Every structure is written in C-alpha cells, then in structure tokens.
Amino acid sequence: MSDKVPWLVSEPRRIDVTPKPFWPCDPQVAGSKKDMVDHPAHYNASGIECIDAMKAMSEKSSVDAHAAYCWQNCFKYLWRWPYKNGLEDLKKARWYLDRLISEVENGRE
C-alpha cells in the first residue's frame, strides 16, 4: 500500500517522549529556532524574561490598553537595545515614548 501512497510509513516509528531539560541549560535548544521563538537571548537578560518584567510592571496599573501598549513597547525596545539592534531600538523606544506622552498629555490614557 505504501507504493500507492508514498507518505504512508510501512512500519510505525518510535517517538522519544523522555522529558528534556529546557532553557537555558539544554544545549540542543539554546541557539535553535525554537529558542529564538520561545526565549530569544535579546529578551532574556540575566535569566529574566522581558515579558515577565512587563507583566510585573503593569499588573496593578490603571493604564488603558493603548497607553499600556505604548509603555510596554517602549520598555521592550529599551530592554533589548544592547543585545539586538542598538540605536534603531533606542529610536523605536523613543517613538513609543513620544506616542505615550502625547496620549497622556491629551487625556487619552
């Protein structure tokens, strides 16, 4: 049957389901595509995830959704600038900060 349907496997394959250590101690994950999606180095300075810091800083705030978006994006770019895009990230942080200031000045926060 496998000659008619080439994607069928004639014998079942065994899948390894042994739990494996995860970031940052697993050298098979560090530097991989999965690592760049789940825990990129430019968002994981000193073992603290940027997204966790963002959650903590905004948890009890009364900032509206758009202001929080600008605030957190500014924070994100300030967090990663020395690790990823340098001056470009600083300029992006400034853009979001200017947008947040405008929102606050105009009473839209």
pTM beyond 0.85, yes or no: no
Per-residue pLDDT band for 69 (boundaries 50, 70, 90) equals very high
Q: What is the pLDDT, as a whole number, of residue 12?
A: 56
Contact 1, 8 (CB under 8 A): yes
For 32-58, b where at least 16 C-beta lie within 10 A, e where not — what string? eeebeeebeebbbeeeebbeebbeeee
Does residue 38 surpass a pLDDT of 90?
no
Does residue 15 surpass a pLDDT of 70?
no
- Residues 17, 20, 45, 62, CA torsion sign: positive
Write down the domain spans for the chain: 49-105
Q: What is the pLDDT, as a whole number, of residue 27?
A: 45
pLDDT digits (tens, 9 = 90+) for 77-100: 998 888 888 999 999 999 999 999
**Residue 43 tokens, joined:** 């968002």
